[in-house]
Amino acid sequence: MSGASGTSGTDVRRVPIVAGNWKMNYGPAEAQTFVKQILDDLAAISGVERVLCPPAISLLAVENLTRPTDVKLGAQNMYFEEKGAYTGEISPLMLKGICQYVILGHSERRAYFGETDELVNRKARSAFAHNLRPIVCVGEQLEDRDAGRTERVLTEQVRGSLANLPAERLGELVVAYEPVWAIGTGRAATTQDAADAAALIRALLAEMYGVDAVAAVRVQYGGSVTAANAGEFAALPDVDGSLVGGASLKPEFVEIIRQTAQAKGV
């Protein structure tokens, strides 16, 4: 239940959500092999939304297998325009009907592909316009944390990336708090770090959209999530699940979701 943080005015039951960000791993054939390995177990878990985010070229191959189940799909990125001369890009219209979710503003996109808060925001607004649910990533770098700038960086990212969204549809928004220093390093944040960041994200969104709208927003923790720590993060009242990288490429992903279900009591 929300409300425990003191930033949510309405009690809303948020469905926990765990997403697997495969990054640049598993082409169509490998993707099918892996999904066949985990799908029965994945489909059998209820009470937690389960989202697979393969590379774009593997989305259809995975969708072929997940279609009869309630396992959802997400893209790892998209452009905000519907079509046109944007070589190499994929549009929301192309994703629609295949995916329900799209990860936006992952720190790797911000760091290696120059994505700014302004661009991420255009993408997030486009996702809403096309009924794709954005999983928008925010998170500070190690030097920000060491310099005591975590709050400032998160504030800037939330205000910039999540501006001008439809307040009445914030139940479709997922915000992933992913401290950059925790991604792929085996060094997860502490639960206190995650709790503080999630509370800050909720408080900032409450300023922007009002307390009631924000009660429906789901916040994930991401960064070195494993089957061993997923339950601790999911036990936090302001955290609704996780965004998983490396461990989502293994059957361990199923165990992460089981731990999440158990921690949330669903």
Binding residues for ligand PGA (CB under 6 A): 21, 178, 183-184, 222-225, 243-247
- 130 a catalytic residue: no
Given 49, 106, 172, 252, the catalytic residue: 106
The tokens 């708090």 sit on which residue? 177
- Between 117 and 178, name the residue whose CB sits nearer to ligand PGA: 178
CB of 99 to ligand PGA, least distance (A): 17
The span from the CA of 90 to the CA of 171, in Å, is 25
Instruction: For ligand PGA, give the closer residue by CB, 55 or 223.
Output: 223
Give kind and range of the element (H or E) at residue 111: helix 107-112
Active site residue 178: yes
Are the C-beta atoms of 189 and 228 separated by less than 8 Å? no
Min dist CB 198 to ligand PGA, Å, is 16
Contact 230, 256 (CB under 8 A): yes
Among 137, 129, 71, residue whose Cα is nearest residue 99: 71
For residue 41, what is the enclosing H or E element? helix 28-44
Angle at which helices 28-44 and 59-66 pack, to 10 degrees? Answer: 30
Q: Toward ligand PGA, which CB reaches closer, 81 or 232?
A: 232
Task: Spot the catalytic one: 115, 140, 178, 252.
Answer: 178
Output the smallest distance, CB 89 to ligand PGA, in A: 21
The radius of gyration of the chain from alpha carbons, rounded to an integer in Å, stands at 17
From the number of C-beta atoms within 10 Å of its C-beta (0-12, 13-18, 19+), residue 191 rates as middle
Least gap, CB of 211 to ligand PGA (angstroms): 28
Minimum CB distance to ligand PGA smaller for 222 or for 241 = 222
Active site residues: 106, 178
